[in-house]
Amino acid sequence: MSGPVPLLSYDDPRLVPGRVALFLDFDGTLAEITERPDAVRVDAETRAMLARLERATGGALAIVTGRAIGDIDGFLAPLRLAVAGVHGLERRTADGARLGAAIDEAAAARVRASLEAAAAEMPGTLVEAKPGSLALHYRQAPERAEAAIAAAHAAVEGLEGVHVLNGKMVVEVKLGSATKADAVAQFMDEPPFAGRLPVVCGDDVTDEDAFREAAARGGVTVKIGPGETVAGLRAAGPAELRRWLVALADSFEPEKAETA
């Protein structure tokens, strides 16, 4: 079985502004992964490219991420896009409506206390609290991966309705069952996404479910970086994806591209 096709060699006549629905992961996809999650920066060129795509597609562009919606708004300001945050546990639709799953706050407090106690014993790790989720990052101490994962599983012992997700240099405890695939499916049932071709771009194992959802709808899937994947296309890294997205925006605005 052949692997993903290089993204920059891909040409698809279906990629026209009135037919495409774009779903983009954030860390490792639009933005480079940094040692600390709060150290991420999005340059003005990337924000301008996203604004062009959002405008050209009539709002059919969503960020689908493990980040909280508020974090994404901070990184992309003044842009305010449709977002599925915390792997689908919270969502803002294209028309601005906020939706979220009910969370067991007592369970969340227990998990947080357990993870923070574990992090205190593992220099280089840190706990990030998000709506409905606790993430234990080990970007600054990759040698602690096994211990961090064990700590997350210990934190959820005896709890029901919680899920442990392994990501890039992070292990996350999610207090709900929503996935990125659920988020893509929900957006695709709503305007302006409904009836369009889903294009999903992501770099992490948590994006694989979203790739499968898009593929089931005949869509386009792009894996960012190395690793096994079900995606049909691959970009070497965020810079290559951004280059492709700029070219896509140019194709959506041919008059603007010609005068640039």
Q: Which residues pair with 198 in a beta bridge?
A: 21
Check 11, 12, 25, 207 and give the catalytic one.
25
- For the question of residue 43 being annotated catalytic, the response is no
Residue 74's alpha-carbon distances to 31, 80, 160, 234, 243, in angstroms, are 13, 9, 33, 28, 23
Q: Which amino acid is at 120?
A: A
Q: 205 by DSSP, 3-state: which?
A: helix
Residue 30: CA count within 13 A, CB half-sphere: 26
Closest by CA position to 226, among listed 65, 9, 36, 28: 28
**Cβ neighbours of residue 95 closer than 8 Å, sequence gap 6 or more:** none
Q: What is the CA radius of gyration of the chain?
A: 18
Task: Please give the positions annotated as active site.
Answer: 25
